[in-house]
Amino acid sequence: MVNSRKKKDTTDEDIVIEDTLDGKEDTPLAVANSLKKTKEKLKQCEKEKRDYLSQLQRERAEFINSRKRDEASLREAKEYATLDVIESLLPVCDSFAMAMRDEKTWNSVDENWRKGIEYIYSQLKAVLENYGVERIEALGQPIDHRLHEALESVSVAHEADDHRVVAVLQEGYRKGERIIRPAKVRAGIFEKLDEEK
Q: In percent, how much of the chain has pLDDT > 70?
A: 85
Residue at 163 is within a domain: yes
Residue at 173 is within a domain: yes
The pLDDT tens digits of the residues spanning 89-101 come to 999 999 988 888 8
Determine how β-strand 148-156 pairs with β-strand 133-135: unpaired
Of the CA atoms within 13 Å of residue 53, those in its CB half-sphere come to 6
The pLDDT tens digits of the residues spanning 111-129 come to 899 899 999 999 999 999 9
Domain count, the chain: 1
pTM of the model: 0.62
Residue at 48 is within a domain: no
Confidence of residue 50 (pLDDT cuts 50, 70, 90): very high
At 123 the three-state DSSP class reads helix
Amino acid occupying residue 86: I
Contact indicator for 132, 143 with CB cutoff of 8 Å: no
Determine how β-strand 173-175 pairs with β-strand 133-135: antiparallel
Query: Which CATH number does the domain housing residue 195 bear?
Result: 2.30.22.10
Contact indicator for 180, 87 with CB cutoff of 8 Å: yes
Residue at 54 is within a domain: no
Which residue range(s) make up the domain with 172? 135-197
